Chain A
Amino acid sequence: MSATIATPAPGTTGRLTIRLVLIGAILVLAVLPVLNQLPAESTLHVSDFIVSITGKWITYAVLALAIDLAWGYAGILSLGHGAFFALGGYAMGMHLMRLIGPRGVYGHPTLPDFMVFLGYQELPWYWLGFEHFPYAVLMAMAVPGVLAAILGFLAFRSRITGVYLSIITQAMTYALMLAFFRNDMGFGGNNGFTDFKELLGMPLNTDNARAVLFYASLALLVVAFLACTRITQSKLGRVLVAIRDAESRVRFLGYDVTRHKLFVFVLSAALAGLAGALYVPQVGIINPGEFSPGNSIEAVIWVAVGGRGTLVGAVLGAFSVNALKTWLTTVAPDLWLFALGGLFVAVTLFLPRGLIGLFAKAPK
Chain B
Amino acid sequence: MKRPLLGLLLLLLLALPVRAQDAFTGALPGLAGGFADIATAVERLGAAGDPRALPVLRALQEGRLQKAGDGRILLPEGAGLVDAATGQPAEAAGAGAEAVRLNNRVRQALRGALGRLQILSPDPAERQAAAEAVFRSRSAENVPVLRQALARETVPRIRTQLELALAASQLVGTDEAGKRDAVARLGSAGTVEARALLLEARGGNPDLVTAIDVSIATIERTLSLRRAAETLFQGLSLGSVLLLAALGLAITFGVMGVINMAHGEFVMLGAYATFLVQEFCRGIPWLAPWSLALSVPAAFLVTAAAGALLERGLIRHLYGRPLETLLMTFGVGMILQQAVRLAFGAQNREVLSPAWMQGTLLLPGGISVTQNRLWIIVFGLAVLLLVFAAIRLTRFGLEMRAVVQNRRIAATMGIRTGRVDAMTFAFGSGLAGLAGVALSQIDNVSPNLGTGYIIDSFMVVVFGGVGSLAGTLVGAMTLGIVNKMLEPWAGAVLAKVFVLIAIMLFIQRRPKGLFALKGRAAES
Contacts and interface: CB of A to CB of B under 8 A. Distances in A.
B369 interface: no
Interface in B480-509: 491, 493-494, 496-497, 500-501, 503-505, 507-508
B458 A179 contact: no
B317 A154 contact: no
A154 B508 contact: yes
A257 interface: no
B176 interface: no
Contacts of A300: 327
Contacts of A77: 323, 326
B455 interface: yes
Contact of A343 (B314, B331, B337): B331
Nearest to B458: A167
Contacts of A163: 259, 322-323, 326
Given A167-B455, A175-B500, A181-B493, 18 more contacts: A154-B504, A162-B524, A166-B326, A171-B503, A175-B496, A178-B496, A179-B493, A182-B494, A297-B330, A300-B327, A338-B334, A341-B332, A341-B338, A342-B335, A344-B327, A345-B331, A348-B327, A348-B328
7 contacts: A158-B511, A167-B458, A301-B331, A334-B342, A345-B335, A349-B317, A349-B318
B333 interface: yes
Interface string A144-176: 000000010011011110111011101110110
A233 B259 CA distance: 33
Ranked nearest first, the 7 interchain pairs of A and B with the lowest CB-CB distance are A344-B331, A341-B334, A341-B335, A337-B338, A341-B331, A348-B328, A348-B324
A247 B455 CA distance: 27
Nearest to B323: A77
A301 B327 contact: yes
A174 B455 contact: yes
A349 B511 CA distance: 31
- Range, interface on chain A: 35 or more
Interface of B: 259, 314, 317-318, 321-328, 330-335, 337-339, 342, 455, 458-459, 462, 491, 493-494, 496-497, 500-501, 503-505, 507-508, 511, 524
A238 to B, nearest CB: 21
A345 B309 CA distance: 14
Contacts of A211: none
B47 to A, nearest CB: 56
A58 interface: no
A273 interface: no
A344 B508 contact: no
A334 B328 CA distance: 20
A278 interface: no
Contact of B331 (A164, A172, A340): A340
Contacts of B493: 178-179, 181-182
Given A178-B496, A179-B493, A334-B342, A344 B328 contact: yes
A14 interface: no
A167 B264 CA distance: 14
A151 B503 CA distance: 12
Contacts of A340: 331, 334
Nearest to A181: B493
